[in-house]
Amino acid sequence: MFKSSLRIAGWLTALAWVWLLAMPAQARYYDDVIASGYIRIGLYRDFPPYSWLEGGEPRGIDVEIGKRIAAALDVRFEPHWITPDENLEDDLRNNVWKGHYLDKDESRPLAPKQLADVMMRVPYDREYAYMRDSTGEMVNEQVVMFGAYQRERWQVAYNSERMDGVSTVAVFQYHPVGVEVDSLPDFYLTSAFQGRMRDKTRHYANVRDAFAAMQRGEVDAVMGMRAEIDWLLSSSSDTRMRPGENGFPMMGKQEWDLGMAVKQTYRQLGYAVEGAVDDLIRSGEMEKLYATYGLRYELPGLYQDVAGR
């Protein structure tokens, strides 16, 4: 009898764990967000100048935008940290509409896992938003991408003691340049112009490491996203390091807009968040936020089109 009870208890425990694992991860409707008194903003982990932890406190431009979204909705800002997966589709699935089976909320072990209510730094690109797989199904049908708030582009920084300037990327046939491994600058510099810059391209875990290598004299220049380069230059007292003014021929897409994403059933929340971000842009507050981190701010394409009319 005792052994039978143990077997039943073990079976019930296993069944409970299966039930917990099967419980859906939860993003929330607008009314639920307001009623709860907080909004969970999805931010990439360890990704300065956009979002990172410093002394246990969230920092970065996306953190500042998230706090102002929360203030506009009169709720508390709560970060939801995102560890990048293999691609953006994985990040959207794991953090916006479905969740990852390994994720858990240790403070609420018996409750459904919570997703980000809003995810920051999502490409605002119609072609990507409506992309279809090999069967014709929409890849991103579970999410809505909206609220473009910044235009990003590629940028070079160089050591002025080692180079006179960077008028063209052709100089990297002769000067070593640092890039983040497996990034678009990596692929570009190792393949453009019949691979003539490949031997001078050095690989690092991230742009920060590449910049530090430039300061040590291991490379003469670094290529990365403009905001990353701007932040590193403004944070450094090393006056030898300067921004390049060159373009990137044959690179393809050299500039892109960044926005946000919500689960497709939570459009009302998206409209409210978009309104808050639109106010930041039109009032000039967004540009001021970027300036506090030493970043140049460029309006996303939609606002540039309107301003140009």
**139-193, pLDDT tens digit by residue?**
667 889 999 999 999 999 999 999 999 999 999 999 999 999 999 999 999 999 9
Q: What is the mean pLDDT of the chain?
A: 86
* Amino acid 18: pLDDT: 42
- What the block records as the tokens of 130 is 């409506």
pLDDT computed for residue 114 by the predictor: 80
> How high is the pLDDT of residue 30?
94
State pLDDT tens for residues 8-61.
Answer: 444 444 434 343 344 445 558 999 999 999 999 999 999 999 999 999 999 999
The predicted model gives 292-296 an average pLDDT of 96
Residue 305 reports pLDDT greater than 50: yes
| Helix ranges (DSSP H) in 99-200 | 126-129, 184-195
Distance CA 267, CA 247 (A): 38
Which ranges of the chain does DSSP label H, i.e. alpha helix? 2-22, 30-36, 61-73, 88-92, 126-129, 184-195, 207-216, 226-235, 267-283, 285-292, 301-308
The helix-helix angle for 285-292 and 61-73 (nearest 10°) equals: 140
6 is written with which tokens?
């143990």
Q: Predicted confidence band at 250 (pLDDT cuts at 50, 70, 90)?
A: confident
Half-sphere exposure of 275 (CA within 13 A, CB side): 9
Domains in the chain (CATH in brackets) are 20-150+257-308 (3.40.190.10), 153-243 (3.40.190.10)
pLDDT of residue 141: 76
- Check whether 258 has a pLDDT greater than 70: yes
Distance, CA of 195 to CA of 198 (rounded, Å)? 5
- For residue range 80-137, list pLDDT tens digits in order: 999 988 888 889 989 997 875 455 544 444 444 689 999 999 988 766 655 666 666 6
Nearest alpha carbon to residue 223 among 170, 162, 180: 180
Does residue 263 surpass a pLDDT of 50? yes
144 pairs with which residues across the strands? 262
**231 CB burial (10 A radius; 0-12, 13-18, 19+):** buried
Is the confidence at residue 138, as pLDDT, over 80? no
Q: Are residues 128 and 121 in contact, defined by beta-carbon separation less than 8 angstroms?
A: no
